[in-house]
């Protein structure tokens, strides 16, 4: 049981924070990023049906969400193979695809993965859940 009502978050040690992105071809990057952004767009549109104060706009590969007078922007950056996220809450971050658990029988790049900010190990999925209130399931099974 924690000593305080609001315990200090666990500090990441170097073993918990990924040090590099998983190698992806440009095609794999587009598949994973498009799948993730598509799932996020679907969840946001579902949330928008229940709360008309949420504004969602997806155009030219840029997803813009306005929530409680705050604007959040997500977009793919193919040259870097990253998803960039700009938030008035957490600031700008650049997320790389990182596989956290690879099975010995699986090929490289497969396994359980997520979009991760390599500087602090934060997950885009967790940040989206906290800041936008939607849950995007992390699923490495991208349709081919």
In a domain, 138, yes or no: no
In a domain, 32, yes or no: yes
In a domain, 122, yes or no: yes
In a domain, 141, yes or no: no
Which DSSP symbol is given to 23?
P
Distance of CA 84 to the CA centre of its chain: 9
> Which residue range(s) make up the domain with 89?
26-132
Could you give the residue ranges of the DSSP H alpha helices within the chain?
26-50, 124-132
pLDDT at position 104, please? 42
Q: Which residues pair with 95 in a beta bridge?
A: 83
pLDDT band at 102; cut points 50, 70, 90: low
Phi and psi at residue 118, in whole multiples of 5°?
-65, -20
Contact 74, 37 (CB under 8 A): yes
Q: How many domains does the chain have?
A: 1
Q: What is the CATH number of the domain that holds 79?
A: 3.30.920.10
Better-scored residue on pLDDT, 82 or 11: 82
pLDDT band at 76; cut points 50, 70, 90: very high
Q: Percent of the chain beyond pLDDT 90?
A: 67
With b meaning 16 or more CB within 10 Å and e meaning fewer, what string describes 110-122? eeebbbbbbeeeb
In a domain, 84, yes or no: yes
Q: 11 pLDDT exceeds 70?
A: no
In a domain, 9, yes or no: no
User: Residues in the chain, how many?
Assistant: 144
User: Mean of the per-residue pLDDT values for the chain?
Assistant: 83
pLDDT band at 62; cut points 50, 70, 90: very high
In a domain, 83, yes or no: yes
pLDDT at position 143, please? 44
pLDDT band at 64; cut points 50, 70, 90: very high
| CA-closest candidate to residue 107, choices 24, 45, 48 | 24
């Amino acid at each position: 049981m924690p000593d305080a009502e609001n315990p200090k978050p666990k500090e990441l040690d170097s073993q918990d924070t990924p040090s590099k992105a998983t190698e992806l071809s440009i095609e794999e990057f587009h598949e994973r990023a498009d799948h993730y952004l598509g799932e996020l767009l679907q969840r946001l549109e579902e949330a928008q049906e229940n709360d008309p104060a949420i504004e969602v706009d997806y155009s030219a590969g840029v997803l813009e969400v306005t929530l409680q007078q705050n604007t959040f922007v997500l977009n793919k950056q193919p040259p870097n193979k990253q998803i960039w996220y700009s938030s008035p809450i957490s600031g700008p971050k650049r997320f790389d695809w990182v596989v956290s658990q690879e099975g010995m029988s699986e090929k490289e790049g497969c396994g359980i993965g997520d979009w991760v900010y390599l500087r602090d190990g934060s997950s885009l999925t967790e940040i989206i859940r906290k800041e936008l209130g939607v849950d995007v399931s992390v699923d490495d099974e991208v349709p081919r």
